[in-house]
Amino acid sequence: MHYFVTGATGFIGKRLVKALLARRGSTVSFLVREGSEGKLAALYEYWGLAGTAKKRAQPVTGDLTARRLGVAADALKALKGSVDAVYHLAAVYDLGADADSQVAVNIEGTRNVCEFAKAVDAKHFHHVSSIAAAGLYEGVFREDMFDEAEGLDHPYFMTKHESEKIVRKECKVPWTVYRPAVVVGDSTTGEMDKIDGPYYFFKLIQRMRQILPPWFPSVGLEGGRINIVPVDFVVACLDHISHSRHAITGKCYHLVDPQGYRVGDVLDIFSKAAHAPKMNLFVNAALLGFIPKSVKKGLMALAPVRRIRNAVMKDLGLPEDIFQLVNYPTRFDRRELDAALKGSGIECPNLHDYAWRLWDYWERHLDPDLFIDRSLKGTVGGKVVLVTGGSSGIGLAAACKFAEAGAITIICARDEDKLAEAVQEIVAYAKGKGTAEPKVFSYSVDIADMEGCAAFVKALEEQHGGVDFLINNAGRSIRRAIENSYDRFHDFERTMQLNYFGCLRVTMGLLPGMVKKKRGHVVNISSIGVLTNAPRFSAYVASKAALDAWTRCASSEFADQGITFTTINMPLVRTPMIAPTKIYNNVPTLSPEEAADMIAQACIAKPVRIATRLGITGELLHAVSPRIAQIVMNTSFRMFPDSDAAKGDKSGKSQLSPEAIAMQQMMRGIHF
C-alpha cells in the first residue's frame, strides 16, 4: 500500500510512519517544508531505512498553508491514483500558540489537505483531530457527537473543531476521524519531544520535592477530569483501525483512556513518580466558581496581582490559559473504539504503571533547567566583575575564580603594592587553569572616602562601561565587647564608614549604569553574626545589618529592572582580617577558596540569600524564642573573653577553658 502522511516529522507522525513501513510492501510519501531536508537523515535512521530502502519513504516538498499543499504539478501527477490513504496529523498542538498560526495551520491546513487528497484521488482520508474538538462540553461527549460542542472560545479548541468540520463538510473522499486525548510520552520508554499537557506541572512538582521531604503532607486540587494516553497507544490504534473493516466513512473514534482521572489524581500520580510530597488532601477547584467572573477579572487587572501571577507562571513555565482547564468538564465515551479494538490485543496502559517512565524521561531530557548553563564560565565569561577588597583573603580567591572563568576581573583595595602582587597571582592562577589571556585590572582606592570612591566609579564607567557583577567584599571587623568600647566610639564609626557607607557609595555609583543596561547583579558579603546577633561584634554586626536592610529595600525597588541582589551571611573564614584574634587559631573555619565558591554560586543562581544551616537556626531561635537565644549567646559571651589584642595587649596568649575549647569544635563557623 502507498500512504501519504502530513506531520511525519512530528512526535506522533514519525511513529505512525514507522508502523506503516513495518507492513509488507508498504511505501510512504510524506510532506516536508522546503529547507527541512536536514531532518531526513535522523528520520531515516529512526525508521530503520538505509541504502536503497530509503526509496520506501519519499519526501514531498510542499507547504501545509498553500492550496493543494503547494505540491508541484509533476509530483501531483506522479501521486495521482496511487495513494491508498492520506493521514493528516500536521497541526499546532500548543495551548500557548497564537490564534493566527493556529487558524493558518489547523483550519486552512486541513482544507488544503482535503483538496490535495481529492487531487491525487486518494482512496481514504484519515484525519487525526483531538478531544479538544468537543470544547468545554458539560457531561459525556459521544463519538457520534460533533455539533453539540460548546465552550469553543479558546483558539485551540475552536481551530480543532473547525478543522474537523472541514473534513466532515468539504472532504470529497471517504474519511475517518480520530480524536486522541492528551498525548504523553511512550509508555515503555517515556520518550517525549515537548512539554505539553501534564508536563506543564512537572516543574511545580520538582520544586515541591526540592523544598519538602517526601513524607510531608501537601494539598492538591481535585479539579475536573483529564484524559491522558501514551503515544504508542495512539499509534497502535491508528494503524489497526485504518487497516480494518472499521475504517468506515463518517466514523469517529475517541482514542482515550477508559479510566480517566481527575486533575488532582494525575498530579498525585506524578508526585509519587517524582518522590515528591504526596497530596493527602484535595480541595475541589470548583469551589472557586462562586467568585463572580467580574470580580476575578478585576483582581487580575490589578498591577501587583498581575505581576505576581505572571512571575510565577513564567518561573514554572506554565502557559497563560492552563488554569482554565483545571475544571475540565468533559468525559468521553469510547464504545466505537472498544468495538474496533476487540480481539486486537491493543489496550491503553494504566497511568500508574508508566508515570515513572514519563517523569524519568522528562527529568533527564526535557527539564528546562538542563539547558541553562550553570557554570561560572557560562555566567560571567566576557562580563565585567568588580571585587572590592580583592587584594587578599576572600576577595582574592573570588577574583581568581572569575579570571579563570573568562571574566573581565577588576579588583580594588587601598594598598598599591598588595594590588600589584594580587594581579600577578590572579593571572598566574588563571593561566595555570588553562585561561590563555586573563583580563585583570586593579584600582587603588579607599571606598570609605567619598571623593576617591566617586572618581573610582567614574573610571569604571569610562574605561569598562560599568560592571555586570559587583562583589561588595571589602570590610572591617572588630571583636570587642561593648563594655570595653565605652571610650572607643570610633570603632563604630570606622566599621560603618567602610562596611556600610563604602559599599553603598560603590553600589549606588554603579546602579545607574546597570539600570540603563537592564541587567546587573550585586553580591553583598554579610556575616553569620547578623543572623545570630553575635556578642562582641556589635560594631561589625550593626554595620552589616544596615547593609542587609538596605539590600532588602533595594532588591524590591529594582526587581523589575533586571537587577538582582544576593546577601551572603558568610561564616567565619580564615583571612588576614581575623588574624589578630588568636582565639580563632583553634576554631574550625572556612578557607578563602570555600568562601569564593559561595560567591560563585551567588553569581550563578542569583538567590536572594545564602546562609548556613547554623545561621538560619540562630535567626529562627531569635525569632521564636528570643529569651532562650539571649541566654545561649550570653553563655558563649562569658565563655569566650575579649582577646588580648582587643584589650590592647598584642603580645599575650589567649587562655581558654576546656569547655570553651570543646565548644569551639562543636560550633563550626560562628562568630563568638
Residues assigned a catalytic role: 540
Number of H helices, E strands in the chain: 25, 22
Contacts of residue 654, defined as CB under 8 A and 6 or more positions apart, other chains included, come to 582, 583, 643, 644
Q: In the structure grid, which three cell numbers stand for residue 108, read together?
A: 486552512
Report which DSSP code applies to 488: -
The vertex-569 CA angle with 567 and 574, nearest 5°, equals: 125
Q: Is 113 helix (H, G, I), strand (E, B) or coil?
A: helix
Instruction: Name the helix (H) or strand (E) containing 141.
Output: strand 139-141
Contacts of residue 327, defined as CB under 8 A and 6 or more positions apart, other chains included, come to 223, 224, 285, 286, 289
| Residues 86, 126 contacting (CB under 8 angstroms) | yes
Q: In the structure grid, which three cell numbers stand for residue 99, read together?
A: 490564534
What sign has the CA pseudo-torsion 589, 593, 597, 603?
positive
* 14 burial via Cβ count (<10 Å: 0-12, 13-18, 19+): buried
- Residue showing cell 540562630: 618
Dihedral pair phi/psi, residue 429, rounded to 5°:
-65, -50
What sign has the CA pseudo-torsion 565, 570, 576, 578?
positive
| Residues 83, 26 contacting (CB under 8 angstroms) | no
- Residue showing cell 563604630: 492
Compute CA distances 217 → 34, 222, 326, 561, 652, whole Å: 53, 15, 21, 37, 57
The vertex-337 CA angle with 331 and 340, nearest 5°, equals: 170
CA distance 98 to 156: 9
Q: Which of 567, 558, 554, 557 is nearest to 524 (CA)?
A: 567
